[in-house]
Structure 1
């Protein structure tokens, strides 16, 4: 029973390190409980305990998923992702008796998160431990080794804490039958492994660059908001477009009156115009009029919806003089949102769960190149909404020359849930990881300006029309994390898998030797 409670509490406490609570310091405590639950267990028992911890983590974390499609997909998704906690638990249990076990256990944790971020359906990286550290001590490590190093440090701290607690409790037990006691030297290793990650994070803090290397620009983020529900579909789309155009014109009026500075770049959110301006002259005219009014190169989130052929979630670089001059097509298409894996099965299930939801005939198709727009002095890298959670999508955008990152997003269907806060936290981690200011523009909030140090400079409320105007630094040097790319994740994961494999191979060899010995003994007269 105590192990069940520890696993349940570990998952629940880990969810508290994420928004809306953002109690980052809960993560090491949660992972210590996770380790205590699975220590010394066989694979099947460890998987079950890990799965339980995963459920108590993902169910509260992902409550926003049931806003639109109901409870069944929410629970199914939580169960699928919880299975990766089960896998992590098996590996953590396997390496638990190795020398310096917390190191191998932390590496195994990173390996399980890496796998979860890649499969199935191209992965689901939300809920990675590092994304709960946006306001925490360990954030500075992101500039050295990215999300993998942050996750490794948090896990090492937690698993070291669990190992230290086990040894302290063992040392306090009375000596029976002359068994050896645990002395101070045995406590030194886990104590060091618990403290070192925090000290490393403190040492890394001064290395996080935030200064403007290529000058500064004034950026404006437009949050037009979405209208009240009840409108017919096309009217709803047009209202969203009109809201963003109107809020842009209001900002232009404030600039003309001297109440706001003239922006150098303007960012509209994802889906600001769900009416394709390349096919619809009225949408083209509305956008062009707003961009001319603000008189600045503007990023427009829209859709490409030709009568035949591929449809795309697209961001357009719209110039006030020349109109559309460049496009970026979203490369990481959200499963069960923008594309439907297992279409036949999903259609059948949704027909029972919520018949009012219609599965679209055509799916969004991914783009194939990073998006960097030359908007005046700024080279603006585009990472659309869901993509910000994928390490390689942000990394290759920075390597393509981005001096600032923009994250046009749409959270409107998730209502007043913590989804927008959770994704803003990911943008904070990315800011530190790559040493770039990040501009998050959302249709209905939260829009935010994030400094290269990960600090939220300004932000909007949910479901309000607003505009943020801020001076941001442009940076061209790359952090060590940017240059290393996926290297730290691969190395750390390989260590964890190798350690678990070593234990498995050793166990197989011992069992073979035991069987051989038994056979020889039985053969003796």
Structure 2
């Protein structure tokens, strides 16, 4: 006689495997989460290898590819976790130089803050991963998160953007057409197309996989063609030349304490400049039209200290050319100013440029009382630096230079403003002594190389302790120093007046690409909100 009770409700004997399917399901989900997390970490490490330190820029597209594979088909919450893992794997080692002399807390706080933006990227990429043409939206989202990271908070910190990994190769050419954002977009798009090809192969879509792979090859191929109309490696081609000397005087020792020997740093730069003058008199070097000293080459205010002023004038008189001096100047009020001074051998100090973007927690301390609770190092900055309000265009020895100071080289708008004001070359004055023998200097030189291509201008980079460099308009190194060694370069540099498409478009490409990413997010979010409203 058949039972009246449905078989699905019968009680199983003790020891049966009723929970086995659920356990297997949980095991599979856990295993999947583990490999996705590992893949996200690999994505961050691949990005790291692309940057100076390892200097394998061709690996850069594999970072976005690995992250895209990790977040594919996931919810936004899972994507955020995977993005955070990627960001930490990248930024913690990339920014390790920030903690060399101040300890782990500031370093890890900075790296964690930057990684939080990659978490947002992971969430957004996961949410849009089911849309048609998702590789395009994912690449645009990379640009969007970098735009946010470069602006918020405290003016942002756009270090480690994808585009700044490309110091050579086909992707670098895109800088002349859309700046760092377009370079980063091209790198990310190549990676997301590679990820799409892999996913289609796994699903059996060979034709779609082939098309995605073809697109991944087409992007760098287009970059190779984009090089054709751009300037070459000649410093002297493209306009009237000026003879530029770059002086790296070195510091007594690396670390924060270098600043306690301010007079020794100034004397080192005076000595190197006088040595150059002797080489000019002996016919061993050409007579320079201008001399570039680095940031912090005179941390003794030459307006208030007559002896410092005499030493700078002594060097200028000896070389017979104006010197662009990097000085710390008292004022306005209770503040100090990171100031570039054009010091003429006949008339003394003249035009100045005051750094427009002082570095938070290094040159000024926001919310000082609060952050003192976490680190006593905040009081090493005893006086906050004031921000300048004028563009860094200076006339030095007949050269119109776009002057940016230290980290300003990674801020698109600051460099663009100075070049578009009429500069014929770019000068970067920096002090890297506080970062020791780390990759920070190489990363900064890489940014300057991208700027050279972006604006079709040669770049003279002067550092107190290295790396100093002279960079041609194609981003190649015409000269480069080592770390912590006195060096002088003298080069003929053309004063170019042509403008690249990137200069004319300004921030336009970044806004456009960011809007594409935002539009993709809206395409996902709006229908979701409507469904929730209807269900409610």
TM-score (norm 2): 0.91
Question: Does structure 1 residue 465 correspond to structure 2 residue 486?
Answer: yes
Cα pair 2:402 2:424 within 8 Å, conserved: yes
Aligned equivalent of 1:6: 39
Cα pair 1:38 1:49 within 8 Å, conserved: yes
Pick one of 208, 213, 221 that aligns with 2:230: 208
Aligned equivalent of 2:177: 144
Aligned equivalent of 1:345: 370
Aligned equivalent of 2:419: 398
Change (3 A) 1:512 1:117: same
Question: Does structure 1 residue 130 correspond to structure 2 residue 151?
Answer: no
CA distance in 2, matches of 1:72, 1:274: 27
Question: Post-superposition shift, 1:72?
Answer: 1.1
Counterparts of residues 156-171 of structure 1 (less than 5 Å): 156-171=189-204
Cα pair 1:432 1:453 within 8 Å, conserved: yes
Cα pair 2:292 2:323 within 8 Å, conserved: yes
Change (3 A) 1:246 1:500: same
SS in 2 for 1:7: helix
Q: Hey, which bits of structure 1, 4+ residues long, moved more than 4 A?
A: 229-235
SS in 2 for 1:207: coil
SS in 2 for 1:255: helix
Change (3 A) 1:376 1:234: closer
Cα pair 1:22 1:135 within 8 Å, conserved: no
Cα pair 2:256 2:434 within 8 Å, conserved: no
Question: Post-superposition shift, 1:97?
Answer: 1.4
| Structure with greater Cα Rg | 2
Question: Post-superposition shift, 1:232?
Answer: 8.2
Question: Post-superposition shift, 1:377?
Answer: 3.0
Aligned equivalent of 2:127: 94
CA distance in 2, matches of 1:257, 1:272: 26
Aligned equivalent of 1:424: 445
Aligned equivalent of 1:155: 188
- Report the more deviating stretch, 220-229 or 28-37: 220-229
Cα pair 2:259 2:299 within 8 Å, conserved: no
SS in 1 for 2:60: helix
Aligned residues between the structures? 500
Q: Extract unaligned runs of 5+ from structure 2.
A: 1-33
Cα pair 1:102 1:193 within 8 Å, conserved: no
Aligned equivalent of 2:151: 118
Counterparts of residues 286-305 of structure 1 (less than 5 Å): 286-305=311-330
Cα pair 2:449 2:475 within 8 Å, conserved: yes
- Report the more deviating stretch, 23-32 or 203-212: 203-212
TM-score (norm 1): 0.92
Aligned equivalent of 2:503: 482
Question: Post-superposition shift, 1:234?
Answer: 7.5
CA distance in 1, matches of 2:62, 2:133: 19
CA distance in 2, matches of 1:8, 1:361: 39
Counterparts of residues 98-497 of structure 1 (less than 5 Å): 98-171=131-204, 182-184=205-207, 186-210=208-232, 212-228=237-253, 236-306=261-331, 308-351=333-376, 358-497=379-518
SS in 2 for 1:228: coil
User: In angstroms, what is the RMSD of aligned CA positions?
Assistant: 1.7
Q: Extract unaligned runs of 5+ from structure 1.
A: 172-181, 517-525
CA distance in 1, matches of 2:348, 2:106: 41
Cα pair 1:110 1:152 within 8 Å, conserved: yes
SS in 2 for 1:81: helix
Change (3 A) 1:258 1:432: same
